[in-house]
């Protein structure tokens, strides 16, 4: 699994001559990107017409590639490698514009864009002087050597691996220069014998996602609730709107509101999944644990609540987004059987009574919980149970409650101070 890490550096006190060269480079690079964007726009029109089966491919005709390249070398005093990365950047911008129907304006950059460097036009050096780390950067007028500063962690990482970077972005913002160095690392997703932090994610109506982070002993380290109030209100309004349109038989408009609603939900799911993965990323060797929503056909074990989640696609999409974002950060994801996670007391395993949508009270020890919080916490408890039976692997996904591991209802786990009660389906 490839993971991308960005290390941020500040370029410290470049003298006037160096600052001027870098400034000119940033300006010319932006113009070069715009130049390519406009040539792509002109060329792609007839290209798409001639090759309808291959719409998404942006290709210039061979004679044009050379001509546009030569022209841009002539117009801008940029090194060849920078003209090429400007061209690549322009192509990416064009593609994302074309693939997104909501983009009304053709991309054009009025303010600065990040100048994309690779190893041909950028290198790093260490020194014993006042500044320990230097970058050697190509500009429109020769190379400049500039000192870099950053936090200790970024400095030592770059010093250890000065040739290992994938690319770097030179950024000009508020009169200062910055260099973001990008490393692409081959990283393994954490295996279950390394799990240290357990991020339980429950999904529901009141709170779209409830996140509870626990350590191996079951201590709660952090929790966060993502309210679903706004989404409910939005969906209610979309439903009403559609009712009216249906009566008037305005099918085109009806489809349009459906698309608008799914765009809204998709955008929300992207934001929430990002935040959930960011929480997990704060802790070492974390695993995100969610309920298994798909493929469970064992209705006797399913609560109304779960069936409702199963048939509501936003939850499936949210899980999907969380999974791929987590894997991009090498964070493991596990799914557990969904039944009864909000119906068992976290402390004494007693039966829970739901006093209201949000409040849940244990009938044995009288402890009171937020129902979603309890769900998220118990989802992790269930994974503890699987793991103590050596069933914490990514391939273990019980389809039915009856396939849950059998055994005692409590089990010591990991470095437990004492006792971590397991959660059983029956």
Residue ranges in contact with Zn ion by CB under 5 A: 345, 347-348, 350, 362, 364-365, 367
Mapped onto helix, strand or coil, the DSSP state of residue 351 is strand
In the complex, least distance from residue 203 CB atom to Zn ion, rounded to whole angstroms: 24
In the complex, least distance from residue 380 CB atom to Zn ion, rounded to whole angstroms: 17
In the complex, least distance from residue 202 CB atom to Zn ion, rounded to whole angstroms: 18
Measured at the alpha carbon of residue 112, what is the angle toward residues 108 and 118, in degrees to the nearest 5?
100
Beta-ladder partners of 185: 3
Paired tokens of 183: 């490393």
Give the whole-angstrom CA distance, residue 316 versus residue 84: 40
C-alpha to C-alpha distances, 189 to 2, 323, 345, nearest whole angstrom: 10, 12, 32
CB 140, CB 76: distance < 8 Å: yes
Nearer to Zn ion, 133 or 421 (CB): 421
Which of 228, 222, 193 has the alpha carbon at shortest distance from 377?
222
Residue linked to tokens 């389809």: 399
CB count within 10 Å of CB 343 equals 18
Length of the chain, in residues:
426
In the complex, least distance from residue 346 CB atom to Zn ion, rounded to whole angstroms: 7
In the complex, least distance from residue 356 CB atom to Zn ion, rounded to whole angstroms: 18
In the complex, least distance from residue 345 CB atom to Zn ion, rounded to whole angstroms: 3
Nearer to Zn ion, 159 or 351 (CB): 351
In the complex, least distance from residue 200 CB atom to Zn ion, rounded to whole angstroms: 18
Give the whole-angstrom CA distance, residue 418 versus residue 215: 13
Paired tokens of 193: 């014998």
Residue linked to tokens 């039966």: 351
Nearer to Zn ion, 1 or 365 (CB): 365
CB 292, CB 395: distance < 8 Å: no
Nearer to Zn ion, 85 or 343 (CB): 343
For the chain, the straight-line distance linking the first and the last C-alpha, in angstroms and rounded, comes to 38
Nearer to Zn ion, 324 or 419 (CB): 419
Which of 340, 366, 341 has the alpha carbon at shortest distance from 355?
366
CB 412, CB 398: distance < 8 Å: no
């Amino acid at each position: 699994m490839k993971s991308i890490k960005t290390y941020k550096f500040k370029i410290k006190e470049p003298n006037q001559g160096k600052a001027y060269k870098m400034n000119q480079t940033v300006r010319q690079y932006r113009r070069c990107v715009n130049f390519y964007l406009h040539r792509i726009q002109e060329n792609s029109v007839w290209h798409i017409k001639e090759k309808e089966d291959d719409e998404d491919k942006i290709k210039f005709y061979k004679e044009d590639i050379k001509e546009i390249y030569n022209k841009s070398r002539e117009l801008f005093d940029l090194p060849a490698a920078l003209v090429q990365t400007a061209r690549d950047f322009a192509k990416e911008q064009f593609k994302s514009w074309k693939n997104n129907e909501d983009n009304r304006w053709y991309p054009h950059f009025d303010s600065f864009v990040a100048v994309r460097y690779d190893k041909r036009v950028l290198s790093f050096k260490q020194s014993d002087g006042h500044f320990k780390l230097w970058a050697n950067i190509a500009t429109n007028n020769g190379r400049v050597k500039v000192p870099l500063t950053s936090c200790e962690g970024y400095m030592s990482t770059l010093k250890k691996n000065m040739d290992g970077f994938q690319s770097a972005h030179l950024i000009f913002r508020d009169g200062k220069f910055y260099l973001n160095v990008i490393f692409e690392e081959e990283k393994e997703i954490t295996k279950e014998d390394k799990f240290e932090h357990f991020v339980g994610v429950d999904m529901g109506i009141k709170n779209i996602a409830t996140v509870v982070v626990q350590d191996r002993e079951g201590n709660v380290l952090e929790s966060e609730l993502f309210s679903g109030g706004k989404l409910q209100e939005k969906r209610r309004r979309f439903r009403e709107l559609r009712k009216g349109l249906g009566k008037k038989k305005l099918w085109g408009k009806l489809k349009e509101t459906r698309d608008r609603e799914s765009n809204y939900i998709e955008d929300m799911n992207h934001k929430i999944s990002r935040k959930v993965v960011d929480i997990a990323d704060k802790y070492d060797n974390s695993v995100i644990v969610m309920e298994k929503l798909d493929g469970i056909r064992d209705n006797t074990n399913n609560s109304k609540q779960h069936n409702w989640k199963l048939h509501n696609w936003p939850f499936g999409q949210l899980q999907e987004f969380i999974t791929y974002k987590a894997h991009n950060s090498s964070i493991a994801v596990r799914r557990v059987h969904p039944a009864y996670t909000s119906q068992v007391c976290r402390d004494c395993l007693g039966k829970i009574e739901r006093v209201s949508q949000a409040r849940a009270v244990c009938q044995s020890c009288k402890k009171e919980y937020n129902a979603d919080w309890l769900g998220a916490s118990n989802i992790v408890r269930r994974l503890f149970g699987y793991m103590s039976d050596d069933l914490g692997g990514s391939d273990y996904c019980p389809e039915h409650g009856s396939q849950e591991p059998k055994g005692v209802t409590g089990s010591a786990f990991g470095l437990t101070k004492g006792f971590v009660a397991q959660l059983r389906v029956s």
